[in-house]
Amino acid sequence: MKQYPTMDALMKRGREFLQVRYPIICGAMTWVSEPDLIATVCNAGAFACIAGGNAPVEILKAQIEAVRAKTEKPFAVNLITIAPAYRAQIEMLKSLPEPVPYVVFAGSFPREKEIAEIKTTGAKVMCFASTESIADRMIRYGADALILEGCESGGHIGHVTTTVLLQQVLLKYAKQVPIFIAGGVATGTLAAHVLLMGASGIQMGTRFVMTEECHAHPNFKEYLARANARDAVSTAQFDPRLPVVSVRAIRNRGTLEFGKLQLELLRRVESGAMTRQAAQEELERFWVGALRKAAIDGDVDNGSVMAGQSVGLVDKVIPVKALLEEILSDGEAELARVRDLLGPAN
């Protein structure tokens, strides 16, 4: 690759923390972040995460072994704290003869003792932070780094935008721990500016889906290429009696049917024809398998086409190396522009 001296200088902390050339993280995406993509990203000089999801420990262990067979570079395992397999996955990671180098806690937020358990293996711990209070708690619990994710991102989301979190969290905590910015980050231009603000690197998901090496179904990629930023919507909750976990995905027939189901279930609950618990269970069954249906089977009309609002900045599929070169070269150009704007020091 070419040289990017100013970007390199700003990425020094993130590069040293992740032990990579470029602290650009391919975020964990269930059914998408498989060993080939992870190894490709890592071998290209960036960083990637295995998606633990609710994978049985045997499958997750096999994925770790598959990644290690394809790359000697560091990588992370992403654990979903609310997944039924979560506890078993922690025990499996603790039992590995060769511990994984990094663990990312996602979904909800880990307990202090769970962070401590993972750190006893020698792994570095990264935690998501979607609010200022959560960032403060994760640092107190012992997180080695934070991933600051705004609600513009795809998949499960919080409720605060990246621009606000940059001001509330990055500027306050960047000196304490490395902080990587996610949610709406899709260009080298923005990457340059968050690095100037003190970030150690960035995380992207949607842009890595739109790479040649990603094995997501062609229908899935084509759907993203045609989508606008406003098409990436979060799931609506019509009534607090039927809680809905916010997920950002491209609006489709499945989104519409999910809304209709909520209204019908609420009508049944109000009429006494169904208990709240039964309605909640039926609601949660709606999206079971929906991500696989879209990402692997290609049913983008009824499946869950998870993507962030940065989808509005993506319209083509390119190789992973080309993506990294674009981010770095555009970032370097933006930093040169900023330097020219500021002019010589008086």
Q: What is the pLDDT of residue 117?
A: 97
Q: Are 71 and 93 in contact (CB under 8 A)?
A: no
pLDDT (tens digit per residue) in 144-187: 999 999 999 999 899 999 999 999 999 999 999 999 999 999 99
Q: In what order do the strands lie in the sheet with 232-234?
A: 155-156, 247-250, 232-234
pLDDT (tens digit per residue) in 228-240: 999 999 998 999 9
Q: How many Cβ atoms from other residues are within 10 Å of residue 247's Cβ?
A: 18
H or E element: which one contains 248? strand 247-250
Q: What is the pLDDT of residue 345?
A: 66
d(CA 84, CA 288): 14
Q: Provide the residue ranges of all domains of the chain, joining segments of one domain with +.
A: 5-204+316-342, 221-309
- pLDDT of 344 higher than 90: no
pTM of the model: 0.94
Q: What is the pLDDT of residue 1?
A: 58
d(CA 337, CA 42): 30
102 confidence band (pLDDT: 50, 70, 90): very high
How far apart, in Å, are the Cα atoms of 97 and each of 18, 75, 93, 105, 263?
21, 16, 9, 21, 51
Q: What is the pLDDT of residue 108?
A: 82
346 confidence band (pLDDT: 50, 70, 90): low
Which residues, in sequence order, are CB contacts of 227 under 8 Å at separation 6+? 250, 307, 311, 312
Domain 5-204+316-342: assigned CATH number: 3.20.20.70
